[in-house]
Amino acid sequence: MSDDTTRLFLGLIGVLVTASVIAGVLSWRSPKPLPSTLDNLNARIKAWWIMVAGISFAFLFGTRGVLLLFAFVSFASLREYVTLTKTRHADRWTLLGMFLIIVPTQYYLIWIDWYGLYSIFIPVYCFLAMPAITAMRGDTSRFLERVSEQQWGVMLSVYCLSHVPALVTLPIPGNEGRGLLLIAFLIATVQGSDVLQYIFGKLFGRHKVAPSISPSKTWEGLIGGIASASLMGAGLFWLTPFSPLEAGFLAALSCVMGFFGGLVASAIKRDRGVKDWGHMIEGHGGMLDRADSLVFAAPVFFHIVRYAWT
Amino acid sequence: MSGSASLLQIVSGSVLAVLARAVTGVRPIWAGSAPNGGQRIYFANHASHGDFILLATCLTPSERSRTAAVAGADYWSSGHVRRFISRRLLRTVLVERNWVERTADPMQVMLDALDAGESLIFFPEGTRNMTEEPLLRFRSGLYNLAVARPGVELVPCWIENMSRVLPKGALLPVPLLCRTVFGAPVTLKEGEDRKEFLERARQALLSLAPRKDGNNG
């Protein structure tokens, strides 16, 4: 593991320890039972520890570890997503195919670095095969709705998310062997932006961005969070092949995409009448609650870097 | 069925629990009762063969090792494979549902298991629910058990989504999130007749179902 990787993880652990200590002191001094804001903060910090531990563990095993980690993230996200859709008995073969064939195939194609296929496998072949299989079963009730829901599920949970580990395969001149750090850069800025938006929103939030979708997303949180996360991204330029200015620009773009990812995820949840996607981390939300911003940021980040740097 | 689990049953119970968690991410929601080590009858809605595996997965390992599922002998005793699964791998109490041909009184079989210290998983609808209704009418079994063994807690358990994971006739489970909600125990009131009690128990179970269930068959 390179010095930069070690430096990054020591820095992350430092941030988490600081956050845990602050939250611990606040919780200790606050009246019991804890107000919901503090409860939520503690839950988020705990989720963060688990995430950092999981990602660090995967990094120990290199590209293979990160691919397996994200294949699992895709599996868990897809499971949460499908649970909220209205499936019918005739969808079983399509659903089984989504979990048993699409997820492993997509990640295998990234593993063997077959860009020409992994970038179209889902939007061309799967998108045509899935409605065909569903139609073969003969149940036409709400057909269009069911097919679109399934297609969007694999698009979000598998296709988009798989672009995070796919960053390793980008042949950026001068960046050989440092692909994992590019992944770390993307995850750190996007997830950092989530946290910073939350903090800025709690401190200064007044004007809601989309009151009918999410009461917690405010313009103050959005602007403050994205601006500070972009600065943080610029400061992390040493992880990447980019200059500080380029790193800041890419971070800003990823954070804006991440914001839209969170907004769309909230709209879906609101439509289905649930607060969280699932209960992966101790009843404090599911995998997609943490991954929704990466879903939107990863493919855009991937393609811009691929276009401009390779 | 003796009062304790064989090693094979303990191992297969743990393996099934790991599998059930991997596929469904199941979590118990204790809403009115908590694990207390006491002898219980868990009564639940039934639409899938996976139901009792899911429910057993939610129990503590020690409670799981003394809990048996009440299942239909007509299905689980036919053929070597099913018999091996139900007798050796799983902990079941097999009752004969066919009134004409049966050789053992189902009530007596269940009472024997209770007297041997077992907790039971019991599906009071008597069969898997294949209708659009969330819950069928209860058969008398639950009432008879409540009368015969008033000391055993009757805990309602709502199993969510399992019928979508593993519907009737399906071999492979579709991974979907499942939950089991455990409600407050239902006790037979003094002077309460069969019909009243069964309807009250049914309502207690129904009240645990989420209002907005994604389940649409």
Q: Which range marks the domain in which residue A132 is found?
A: 67-168
Distance CA A259, CA A210 (A): 12
Task: Determine whether the interchain pair A279/B175 forms a contact, defined as Cβ–Cβ distance below 8 Å.
Answer: no
| Tally of structural domains, chain A | 3
User: Do residues A76 and A176 share a domain?
Assistant: no
Q: Which residue of A has its CA nearest to B29?
A: A283
User: Do residues A182 and A308 share a domain?
Assistant: yes
Task: Determine whether the interchain pair B217/A272 forms a contact, defined as Cβ–Cβ distance below 8 Å.
Answer: no
User: Do residues A160 and A191 share a domain?
Assistant: no
User: Do residues A136 and A237 share a domain?
Assistant: no
Among the residue ranges A131-140, B2-11, B63-72, B80-89, the one predicted with the least confidence is B2-11
User: Do residues A152 and A142 share a domain?
Assistant: yes
Task: Determine whether the interchain pair A89/B176 forms a contact, defined as Cβ–Cβ distance below 8 Å.
Answer: no
Distance CA A289, CA A215 (A): 16
pLDDT for residue B213: 44
User: Do residues A135 and A204 share a domain?
Assistant: no
Residue B92: strand pairing partners: B69
The amino acid at residue B42 is: Y
pLDDT for residue B214: 42
Q: Is-contact A267 A292, C-beta < 8 A?
A: no
> Which residue among A84, A88, A280 places its CB closest to the CB of B25?
A280
Does pLDDT of B215 surpass 50? no
Among the residue ranges A1-5, A187-191, A215-219, A285-289, the one predicted with the least confidence is A1-5
**How is residue A213 written in tokens?**
């979708």
**Do you find a cis peptide bond into A33, omega within 30 degrees of 0?**
yes
The vertex-A257 CA angle with A256 and A262, nearest 5°, equals 100
Minimal CA separation from A261 to chain B, in Å? 22
User: Do residues A254 and A275 share a domain?
Assistant: yes
User: Do residues A146 and A176 share a domain?
Assistant: no
Task: Determine whether the interchain pair A76/B25 forms a contact, defined as Cβ–Cβ distance below 8 Å.
Answer: yes
Distance CA B184, CA B186 (A): 7
Convert the pLDDT of each residue in A50-73 to its tens digit. Answer: 889 999 999 999 999 999 999 999
> Which residue among A82, A88, A99 places its CB closest to the CB of B216?
A88
Does pLDDT of A153 surpass 80? yes
Convert the pLDDT of each residue in B19-70 to its tens digit. Answer: 999 999 998 999 988 999 899 999 999 999 899 999 999 999 999 999 999 9
User: Do residues A184 and A256 share a domain?
Assistant: yes
Convert the pLDDT of each residue in A227-264 to its tens digit. Answer: 999 999 999 999 999 999 999 999 999 999 999 999 99
User: Do residues A128 and A174 share a domain?
Assistant: no
pLDDT for residue B96: 85
Distance CA A194, CA A209 (A): 15
Distance CA A152, CA A144 (A): 12
Return the SS3 of B81: helix
Q: Please enumerate in sequence order all residues whose Cβ is within 8 A of that of B197, keeping only pairs 6 or more positions apart, or say none.
A: B142, B143, B146, B188, B189
pLDDT for residue A310: 87
> Which residue among B161, B170, B212 places its CB closest to the CB of A83?
B161
Candidates B159, B156, B179; CA nearest to B40 is B156
Distance CA B80, CA A208 (A): 64
- Average pLDDT of the segment spanning A168-194: 92
Minimal CA separation from A208 to chain B, in Å? 28
User: Do residues A197 and A255 share a domain?
Assistant: yes
Q: Per-residue b/e over A28-53, b at no fewer than 16 CB within 10 Å? A: eeeeeeeeeeeebbbbbbebbeebbe
Task: Determine whether the interchain pair B172/A96 forms a contact, defined as Cβ–Cβ distance below 8 Å.
Answer: yes
Convert the pLDDT of each residue in A121-130 to its tens digit. Answer: 999 999 999 9
Distance CA B153, CA B146 (A): 9
Minimal CA separation from B13 to chain A, in Å? 22
pLDDT tier for residue A36 given thresholds of 50, 70 and 90: confident
Does pLDDT of A190 surpass 90? yes
Given A168, A183, A210, the domain boundary residue is A168
pLDDT for residue B216: 36
Candidates A220, A224, A226, A210; CA nearest to A265 is A210
Q: Which residue of A has its CA nearest to B23?
A: A79
Task: Determine whether the interchain pair A88/B25 forms a contact, defined as Cβ–Cβ distance below 8 Å.
Answer: no
Q: Which residue has the tokens 């503590």?
A: B60
Q: Which ranges in A205-283 belong to alpha helices (H)? A: 219-235, 244-271
pLDDT tier for residue A78 given thresholds of 50, 70 and 90: very high
User: Do residues A113 and A127 share a domain?
Assistant: yes
Task: Determine whether the interchain pair B214/A85 forms a contact, defined as Cβ–Cβ distance below 8 Å.
Answer: yes
| pTM, 2 dp | 0.91
Convert the pLDDT of each residue in B93-150 to its tens digit. Answer: 998 877 676 678 889 999 999 999 999 999 999 888 988 889 999 999 999 999 999 9
Given A136, A151, A168, the domain boundary residue is A168
B170 touches chain A (CB under 8 A): yes
pLDDT tier for residue B184 given thresholds of 50, 70 and 90: very high
Does pLDDT of A271 surpass 70? yes
The domain B7-206 is placed in CATH, from the list 1.20.1070.10, 3.30.499.10, 3.40.640.10, 3.40.1130.10, at: 3.40.1130.10
Query: Across all residues in chain B, what is the average pLDDT?
Result: 89
Phi/psi at B105 (5° precision): -75, 120
How far lies A233's CA from each of A274, A286, B92, in Å?
Answer: 33, 26, 59
pLDDT for residue A281: 59
Given A124, A148, A168, the domain boundary residue is A168
